[in-house]
Structure 1
Amino acid sequence: MAEVYDQLMADAPYSEWVSLTQKIINQYHPDIQSILDLGCGTGEITCRLSEAGFQLTGVDLSEEMLSLAAQKSPGTKINWLHQDIRELKGLENFDCIVSFCDVLNYITTEEDLQRVFKNAYHSLTDSGLFIFDVHSLHHIQDHLLGETFAEVYDDISYIWLCDPGDMNDTVVHDLTFFLQSEDVYERFDEQHVQRGYSVSEIERQITSAGFQLLNICSDFKLDGSRDGDRLFFICQK
C-alpha cells in the first residue's frame, strides 16, 4: 500500500495535525525541541514538524513507508527507524512523542496498548508530552462499520469494505486496488484491522502507564470537546 498511500491521502489535513501540535506545545511545554513520531508512515507529518524547527525521529513498522519518507527528506537530520511501536528499543530523552492518523487504533489488544503507552513514557524526558489521536467509538460504529467506499482515478481505483471484526469495537478494512501499469491494471488486496477504545479505557491505560492526562479534544479543536470523530489525548510524564 506504500506505493499508493500518498496519492490516496493527498487531501489529508496534515497541516492541521502540525498546527494543533504546535498549539499544544506552546500551551503546555514551549521548550520542546525533540519529537518522536510513532507510526510515521511516509513521513508527511514528520517532515512538516521538522520544517517547523523541531528535531525529528520517525518510527514505522513498514520498511516501504520509511523508504518513501527518506526520499522526501534528503539533506535533513530526520532519523528514520524501522521498529514496532510495541517493542521500542534505544529511544529515550525525547521532549515530545506524537502518534497521529489513528495509528493507535491499529493496536487491537489492551495489553499491547499498555505496552505502547509504557514505551512512550520511558522514551520521554521528565515533563515530556505524549500527544496522540484515535478514531472515536461513535465514528467507528456510525460511520465505518457496514460501509463501502470507492474511488476511481485515471491511474488507480479502489474498493474499501468495512466489516465488523471478531472482537467488540473492531473493524476489518478489506481494500482492493487496481493500479495502472502501462496499458493494463494490476490488482492487489490488503486487509487492515482497527479497534476503537472508549475514552474511559484510554484514560485508565494512560494513568496506569504513569502519565498525567492534561486534556482531551476532538477534530483538531483545542476546546475540550469529546464529541468529534477524531479524539486527541494530551498527556505528560
Structure 2
Amino acid sequence: MSYQQFAYLYDGLMVDAPYEKWVSIVASQCNLHQLKGKRLLDLACGTGELSLRLAKKGYEVTGADLSDNMLAVAQRKAASEALSIQFLEQDMSQLDEIGCYDIITIFCDSLNYLQSEDEVKSTFSGVYEHLADDGLFMFDVHTVHKIDDLFVNQTFALNEEDVSYIWQSFEGEFPHSVEHDLSFFVLDEKIGTYKRYDECHFQRTYEFDVYRQWLKEAGFEITTFFVDFNEKNREMNDAERLFFICKKLKNRI
C-alpha cells in the first residue's frame, strides 16, 4: 500500500472527519476509568491531526505511523503550532522499543489496513507490551456490515476545482475484505493542468467475537464497546464503526 501522493491529499479529503469525537471519547473513557496518566501513543497517526488535538488537551502524545510521507506532514504541522510531539516511523504490527504509555489508540479504522490475522494479533500483543499496568487501549474498526454491504462493489466520486477522484471498491480475497482503487486528479497551479495519481488500498475486518477472542489472548479485558461514536449504543445490526475500550490485565489469562 502506497501513501506517497495520498499523504499530501489526505488532510483535504478528511476535512470533515470527526476528530473532535475521537478526542471526546478518549477524555470520556479516561475519566470513566479514573486514569491518571497522560502518556498517549497514537498509532497510525497519519498526518497527525488527531495527535495535535490530543496534545492540545494536555496529553503527552507520541505519534507513530508506517508512512514517512504522512509523518513529514505531521511534523510540519506540530512545529507550526509549537507542539511538543514525538513522531516515529513504526509498523503497528511490529512495534520496537518505544516506551511505556498510559493510553494507546488506533483510530480512524486504521487497524483494518492490516492484511492478515497474524498482523492483528501481533499488534494487540505489541500494544500490551507497551501499555502501563491498568492502562487503556482504545481502537475502532469497520463493522462487517460496512465492508460487505456499504463498500464492496460501490463507486464514490468527488469533483472539486483543485482535486477530483474516482474511488472504486471491490470484494477482496478474504472474507470481509475490500480493495479500494483510487484515481486522483490534482490541479498543478504552476502549469494549469491536472496530474493523475493512482492508489490501491486494502481493508479487512472481522466479526466482533473474533476481535474479542484475540484481545483476550493478548491479555486485555474489554471494559466496554459501542458503535458509531455513541458510547451508549451497542446495537451492531446496521452500525458502521465499532469501538473497543480495553484494559490491560496485569496477568495474562
TM range (shorter): over 0.9
CA deviation map 1:63-87 (0-9, x unaligned): 0100111111112221100011111
Q: 1:113 aligns with which of 110, 120, 130?
A: 120
Residue 19, structure 1, aligned to residue 28, structure 2 = no
Residue 234, structure 1, aligned to residue 241, structure 2 = no
Q: 1:208 aligns with which of 217, 221, 225?
A: 217
Deviation at 1:91, TM superposition (A): 1.9
Asked if the contact 1:34–1:56 (Cα under 8 Å) also holds between the matched residues in 2, the reply is: yes
Q: Distance in 2 between matches of 1:223 and 1:108?
A: 31
TM-score in terms of structure 1 length: 0.98
Q: Tell me which amino acid in the other structure corresponds to 2:243.
A: F
| Aligned match of 2:36 | 31
Q: Tell me which amino acid in the other structure corresponds to 1:201.
A: V
Structure 2 unaligned regions, length at least 5: 1-5, 249-253
Q: Tell me which amino acid in the other structure corresponds to 1:177.
A: F
Asked if the contact 1:32–1:95 (Cα under 8 Å) also holds between the matched residues in 2, the reply is: yes
CA deviation map 1:111-164 (0-9, x unaligned): 110000000000001000000000000111111111000001110000000100
Q: Give the superposed CA RMSD.
A: 0.9
| Aligned match of 2:52 | 47
The DSSP-based 3-state class of the residue aligned with 1:7 is helix
Q: 1:184 aligns with which of 166, 187, 193?
A: 193
For residues 1-237 of structure 1, the aligned pairs below 5 Å read: 1-74=6-79, 75-182=82-189, 183-227=192-236, 228-237=239-248
Q: Distance in 2 between matches of 1:154 and 1:143?
A: 27
Deviation at 1:62, TM superposition (A): 0.5
| Aligned match of 2:3 | none
Q: Distance in 2 between matches of 1:145 and 1:31?
A: 42
Asked if the contact 2:148–2:177 (Cα under 8 Å) also holds between the matched residues in 1, the reply is: no
Q: Distance in 2 between matches of 1:196 and 1:210?
A: 21
Deviation at 1:224, TM superposition (A): 4.5
Q: Distance in 2 between matches of 1:99 and 1:229?
A: 16
- Higher mean C-alpha displacement, 48-57 vs 86-95: 86-95
CA distance 1:99–1:226, change in 2 (3 Å): farther
Percent identity among equivalent residues? 41
Q: Distance in 2 between matches of 1:97 and 1:161?
A: 32
The DSSP-based 3-state class of the residue aligned with 1:86 is helix
The DSSP-based 3-state class of the residue aligned with 1:11 is coil
Asked if the contact 1:29–1:129 (Cα under 8 Å) also holds between the matched residues in 2, the reply is: no
TM-score in terms of structure 2 length: 0.92
